[in-house]
């Protein structure tokens, strides 16, 4: 893929997400899926389990049926050289440079992971912003999500609320876990704007850390879904020129710290 067009950049500014189709080749996807499958079978830590989060649809506890179902393989960047190469994909980095500026950092914390939606025992995730996981001073963070297989509503794919990265949402519209309350009419109206892009294997979706998104569970018997997710942000506090003008359109939030990060280059 060539560099993103101005129209694509403008769509990201407006919607808070952008799909880059067919980024990974079939051969690369086969290699990545082999690595992920092996690490899941061997239960290589660190990992996060569905039963620990207790999201809707998850097993109630570890010793319940499906209690050992993995939700995320954490610290993906350090797990395998192939994942490190994938995290530093030139097309993704070129797009992120145009959105965020010159010096990028890849976070080594929460969203440096393999996300899984395993059959039968996976859970659904309510409407949330990724910035809720961190204490960043500035919201100049973008998640890069690589679909390792097809993603569609029936196996728990992502949905987005376009333009919500620009919005300020009052605290009372969230529950205690920082999910949007679905019982409030104003939230129901917002959720009605949802967009659910079906992803093919090899597609990448970039989304702003303030863009509300959600994902369903995977009720299928044998359709295992994987995705490689990582978060990247910019290092400098200020940026000049058109990039600064573009990023000012979304408000900042959270304490900015780049501890546990890796610098990535063009």
Distance separating alpha carbons of residues 207 and 204, to the nearest angstrom? 10
| Residue 231: Cβ-neighbour burial (10 angstroms; 0-12, 13-18, 19+) | buried
Higher-pLDDT residue of 235, 173:
173
pLDDT for 234 equals 59
pLDDT for 103 equals 82
Q: What percent of the chain has pLDDT over 90?
A: 62
pLDDT for 248 equals 34
3-state secondary structure (DSSP) of residue 84: helix
Spell out a b/e string for 238-263, using b for 16 or more CB atoms within 10 Å of the CB, else e: ebeeebeebbeebeebbebeeeebbe
202, 26 in Cβ contact below 8 A? Answer: yes
pLDDT for 2 equals 66
- Per residue in 81-132, pLDDT (tens digit) is 999 999 999 989 999 999 988 788 888 776 789 999 888 888 999 999 998 8
Residue 264's beta-bridge partner residues?
104
3-state secondary structure (DSSP) of residue 186: helix
- Per residue in 245-262, pLDDT (tens digit) is 333 333 322 222 223 455
Arithmetic mean of pLDDT over the chain? 84
Distance separating alpha carbons of residues 184 and 54, to the nearest angstrom? 23
Domains of the chain: 6-168+195-264 (2.60.120.620)
pLDDT for 139 equals 79
- pTM (2 decimals)? 0.86
Could you tell me the CA-to-CA distances from 95 to 30, 137, 147, 218, 240 in Å, in that order? Answer: 24, 23, 17, 31, 17
Among candidate residues 170, 215, 224, 211, the one with its CA nearest the CA of residue 33: 224
139, 102 in Cβ contact below 8 A? Answer: no
């Amino acid at each position: 893929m060539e560099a993103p067009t101005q129209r694509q950049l403008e769509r990201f500014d407006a919607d808070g997400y952008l799909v880059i189709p067919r980024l990974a080749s079939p051969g690369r996807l086969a290699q990545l899926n082999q690595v992920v499958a092996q690490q899941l079978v061997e239960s290589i830590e660190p990992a996060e389990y569905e039963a620990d989060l207790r999201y809707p649809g998850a097993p109630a506890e570890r010793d319940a049926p499906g209690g050992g179902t993995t939700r995320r393989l954490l610290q993906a960047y350090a797990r395998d050289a192939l994942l490190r190469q994938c995290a530093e994909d030139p097309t993704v980095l070129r797009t992120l440079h145009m959105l965020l500026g010159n010096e990028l950092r890849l976070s080594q914390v929460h969203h440096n992971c393999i996300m899984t939606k395993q059959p039968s025992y996976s859970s659904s995730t309510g409407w949330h912003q990724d910035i809720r996981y961190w204490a960043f001073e500035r919201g100049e963070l973008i998640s890069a999500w690589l679909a390792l297989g097809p993603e569609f509503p029936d196996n728990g794919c992502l949905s987005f609320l376009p333009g919500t990265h620009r919005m300020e949402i009052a605290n009372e519209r969230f529950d205690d876990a920082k999910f949007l309350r679905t019982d409030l009419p104003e939230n129901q109206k917002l959720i009605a704007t949802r967009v659910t892009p079906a992803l093919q294997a090899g597609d990448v979706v970039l989304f702003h850390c303030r863009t509300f998104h959600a994902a369903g569970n995977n009720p299928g018997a044998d359709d295992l879904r994987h995705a490689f997710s990582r978060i990247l942000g910019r290092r400098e506090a200020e940026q000049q020129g058109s990039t600064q003008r573009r990023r000012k359109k979304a408000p900042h939030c959270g304490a900015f710290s780049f501890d546990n990060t890796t610098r990535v280059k063009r």
